[in-house]
Structure 1
Amino acid sequence: MNLLITGGTGFIGKHLVKELSSNHQLHLLVRPNTGSTIPKGVKTIVFDDNIAELHQYILENEIEGVFHLATLFVAQHQAEQIKNMLLSNIYLGTAILEATQHTAVKWVINTGTYWQHFHSEDEIYCPTSLYAASKQAFIDMAAYYTQVDDIKFVTLKLSDSFGDGDTRPKLFTVLKEAIVSGKQLQMSPGEQVLDILHVKDIVSGFVHLMKLLNENKALGSDYILAAKQRFTLREVVAIFEKVSGKKINVVWGGRPYRDREIMQPWNKGIMLPEWEAKLSLEEGINLYLSKTEQR
């Protein structure tokens, strides 16, 4: 199957590309300034805002499905970051949808976030941040294209992720660095509950959704991928210490909760049908540490 992937050089994208590359012809959409290495056997198209050119590429290469993972994540934005965030999170996806018009593309799998729902008990949209608002804005743009073209558009909403090859300044990267340095780690009081998935489970979710779409299963517009069990930040650190066999010098309450901290992850989402996480948090951390050779 000919597949177009955005965000294929990012953390989750790299793992998805690795999983799909043996059975599918992959085409990575990259921006002109990308400096990432492209895997062998994977084609690329450099998107320089020429939508007509992208449309022609999709036609000529008979692209049938799109994985849209590209995003610019900003937890707490600054004014100067707004333009690039909107270009990445709204414009790029909209340009791709425009380019898929009157082509062989049957479906688009989009990536959303739990952060689109600040209140855990509400089904309605309530953005935690401007980043989350930009993710929702693209979904609203996509609604037009699903009305005027015979294309399926499904969003997978993710919470936190981790795994080998993750260079983002996320929780487990920080914990691993703290083990190496032995320095004090100033953290919030740590009572917020986290939903964390290993990247292997996330990739399996994307691949499974592709399977459902290719089988023409009746699907809704969005689903979540959720961990087998949720833990507080304090519990996550304790599990990390247990698996690594190392004590981390954490100062709980050393910094305050950030503005609009999510204390309970969204629990009104619909789980992707016929999918479940395979790895427990402990198993995922064990795999993560073994892959990074930090035990």
Structure 2
Amino acid sequence: MRVLVTGGTGFLGQAVLRQLAEKPFHIGSLQRASSTSVDDILADGAATVETLILNPELKDVCAQVEAFSPGVVVHIAAVSRAKEDEEGIRAMLEVNTLLPSLLAQSAARCGAKGMVVCGTSWQTSSPENIYDPFNYYAATKQAAEDILVPFAKNGLNVISLRMFDNYGPSDWRNKVVDLVFNAVVAQEPLKMSPGFQKMDLVYVEDAAAAIVAATERAAGDPLDQLEVYGVSSGEHHSLRDLEALIGEIAEAAPPIQWGERPYRPNEIMEPNRKLARVPGWSPHVSLRKGLERVWESKRNALRLAK
């Protein structure tokens, strides 16, 4: 089967590409010219990935997709950290809403079986599964999900995965797990909110496995409707719990200054608990085990730097 992936050069996308490469798939990576070479991601040469360069303003993207003729399209690419100004809004709309719309249209026209899109748990701001977007980024992800409903009604197997925060070794995105570990290493104060918000942290390989499972499901028997699943660890920990666990693993207390920053506007204090998991998938790496792997990776990097 031919699988076309967007966002395959990102932190999560690289893990997805590596896992897809273990399957009997012909893989295509639709990416910007400035992105990492997929040859560097799959350095062992175990699989061949065909690279398709995404043109500015998505010009000719439909023709590119139809020429590749995928059986399933997997849309991981996202713009999530842009400012909510004119430039940021345009960027989020282009990648988070317009691109999946064009991908779905192209997939349907070339007879693809299905499409997997990555949304966000931030589409709901409470433990209940009720649409209440945390920010504009989450709203664009909901818009994409809604736009894909007509394609699902017309026979395309569409699966939307609401992604919770993922983490793992060598994460360059400067997210909370690395911020806390880096504070331990540098022993420099880290200003934080009061820290009582709870998080659902998913190890990157587990998150990637959920996307691969959804890809195989989208390639299978016809689905009755657009399906929505949560890629959740099932573990909910506060930021203060995370600090304590990292302190145990690193054997040094993270120098966090609690309450030095306010909570973000509309801060999500409890993650969504109502989303079902992709059939056949469950996480295998506990938060402690995942954090131990991150810490070992950082220790190895520090040894090499000496």
Determine if the TM-score, normalized by the shorter chain, exceeds 0.5.
yes
Q: Does 1:29 align with 2:36?
A: no
Separation of aligned partners in 2, 1:235 and 1:116: 24
Count residues with an aligned counterpart: 292
| CA deviation vs aligned residue, 1:223-265 (integer Å, no higher than 9, x gap) | 0011132111100111111112222111111111111110001
2:209 to 204, 224, 248: 204
Corresponding letter in the other structure for 1:251:
Q
1:54-69 correspondence to structure 2 within 5 Å? 54-69=61-76
| CA deviation vs aligned residue, 1:254-288 (integer Å, no higher than 9, x gap) | 11111111000111222222322111100111122
Corresponding letter in the other structure for 2:208:
V
Q: Indicate conservation of the 8 Å contact 2:107/2:114, yes or no.
A: no
Structure 2: runs of 5+ lacking an equivalent: 43-47
Corresponding letter in the other structure for 1:242:
E
Q: Does 1:237 align with 2:243?
A: yes
Deviation for aligned residue 1:156: 0.7
Identity across the alignment (%): 27
> Is the alpha carbon distance of 1:190 and 1:57 closer, same or farther for their aligned partners in structure 2, counting shifts above 3 Å?
same
Q: Indicate conservation of the 8 Å contact 2:183/2:255, yes or no.
A: yes
Deviation for aligned residue 1:96: 1.3
Corresponding letter in the other structure for 2:27:
L
Separation of aligned partners in 2, 1:183 and 1:110: 39
| CA deviation vs aligned residue, 1:150-193 (integer Å, no higher than 9, x gap) | 21111011111101231002011211221222110111111001
> Is the alpha carbon distance of 1:50 and 1:162 closer, same or farther for their aligned partners in structure 2, counting shifts above 3 Å?
closer
Deviation for aligned residue 1:75: 7.4
Match of 1:135 in 2: 141
Q: Does 1:178 align with 2:183?
A: yes
> Is the alpha carbon distance of 1:124 and 1:8 closer, same or farther for their aligned partners in structure 2, counting shifts above 3 Å?
same
Q: Indicate conservation of the 8 Å contact 2:125/2:132, yes or no.
A: yes
Separation of aligned partners in 1, 2:292 and 2:16: 21
1:224 to 224, 230, 233: 230
Separation of aligned partners in 1, 2:81 and 2:88: 8
Deviation for aligned residue 1:289: 2.0
Deviation for aligned residue 1:73: 0.5
SS of 1:100's partner is helix
Match of 1:9 in 2: 9
1:251 to 231, 254, 257: 257
2:103 to 91, 96, 101: 96
Q: Indicate conservation of the 8 Å contact 1:2/1:27, yes or no.
A: yes
1:112 to 104, 111, 119: 119
> Is the alpha carbon distance of 1:52 and 1:81 closer, same or farther for their aligned partners in structure 2, counting shifts above 3 Å?
closer
Deviation for aligned residue 1:132: 0.4
Deviation for aligned residue 1:128: 0.8
Separation of aligned partners in 2, 1:294 and 1:50: 38
Structure 1: runs of 5+ lacking an equivalent: none
Q: Indicate conservation of the 8 Å contact 1:59/1:104, yes or no.
A: no
Corresponding letter in the other structure for 2:199:
L
Deviation for aligned residue 1:37: 2.2
